[in-house]
Amino acid sequence: MHQYLQLSPEVAAARASGKPVVALESTIISHGMPYPQNVTTAQEVEHIIRDAGAVPATIAIIEGKICVGLTSEQLELLGTSPDAMKVSRRDLPYVLARRRLGATTVAATMICAHLAGIQVFVTGGIGGVHRGAATSFDISADLQELARTDVAVVCAGVKSILDIGLTLEYLETQGVPVISVGQPGFPAFFTRDSGFMADFQLDTALEQASFIQTKWALGLRGGVVVSNPVPELFAMPKEEIDRITDQALLEAANGGVSGKAVTPFLLNRIKQLTEGRSLMTNIALVKHNALVGAELAVAMRDLPGMKPI
């Protein structure tokens, strides 16, 4: 066991007995949603994963440890602490060494999940190439992590605050396969249609698991994006989200927002400008991803020869 890892009793028992485990990130709790919906959603998502026969492992950095599997007090702490740091690959050593409270992004959660031997990770949306990246160089560390760390990431695509086309180009260059579930198109988080195709449509957990197993069996390191569109009933009107996204982007540019603050700023403004309607969409899609991720983790466990390499 890695010296910085601290598995909850439930996660430790699952790992010891070979039960499927699903990792969950914590930036979505600290920076992605307001209190108390952030904490109730985190709890509901864990419930969905348990009901589907897997064990949830929400990941955060607490008191100098990578905690894998959190108590309800720890979830509450992350959901209410304004000083919880957003932790990506770059920030992990600082937060651990300084014993700060850290909420892990997709990149950092992938690193921690891999250290704990967890192969499936569920989130809402991944980071990507920002619009204007040709001059700002703003490309999320999530994409490099997907290129190198062997974890499958179930998400609802990427938000249109990003340049979705360039994000997909970057993933292609890095050899990261983008799977879609239930439709050929790559989803755009709040909406089901981004205008771009995923690389491969694989509708069942078994098909997804065997794709992922084959990738890793070939020694092709790195993650897989499993993009699962928001359920139709909860999707937002495209015109509305486009208009609000443009306004949020303009405000970020005018306000000189930069670095790791960009994504939380845009997420927060979209939430405010939609008067909370986007929050309902966000919650619904994360729950749906939890089900797909749990089924994938169960299928990975059941496939013969599915062992970490």
Q: Which residues sit at the interface with ligand PSU, rule CB under 6 A?
A: 25, 27-28, 32, 88, 105-106, 124-125, 127, 140-142, 159, 189, 260, 263, 267
Q: Please pick, among 76, 86, 145, 159, the residue that the annotation labels catalytic.
A: 159
Interacting residues with Mn ion between 120 and 139 (CB under 5 A): 138
CB of 256 to ligand PSU, least distance (A): 16
CB of 136 to Mn ion, least distance (A): 8
Q: What share of the chain is helix, strand, coil (3-state, %, to 5)?
A: 50, 20, 30
Nearer to Mn ion, 231 or 264 (CB): 264
Q: Which amino acid is at 307?
A: K
Nearer to Mn ion, 25 or 138 (CB): 138
CB of 138 to Mn ion, least distance (A): 4
Q: Which residue is nearest to Mn ion (CB)?
A: 138
Evaluate the CA torsion angle 12, 54, 43, 59 in order and state its sign: positive
- Measured between alpha carbons, how far is 157 from 182 in angstroms, rounded to an integer? 13
Query: ∠28-33-34 over CA atoms, to 5°?
Result: 140
Instruction: For residue 226, give the H/E element and its range.
Output: strand 224-227
Q: Which residue is nearest to ligand PSU (CB)?
A: 125
Residue 267 binds which entry of ligand PSU, Mn ion, none, with Cβ cut-offs from 5 to 8 Å by kind? ligand PSU
Tell me the DSSP string of 56-91.
EEEEEEETTEEEES--HHHHHHHHH-TTPEEE-GGG
Question: Which residues sit at the interface with Mn ion, rule CB under 5 A?
Answer: 138
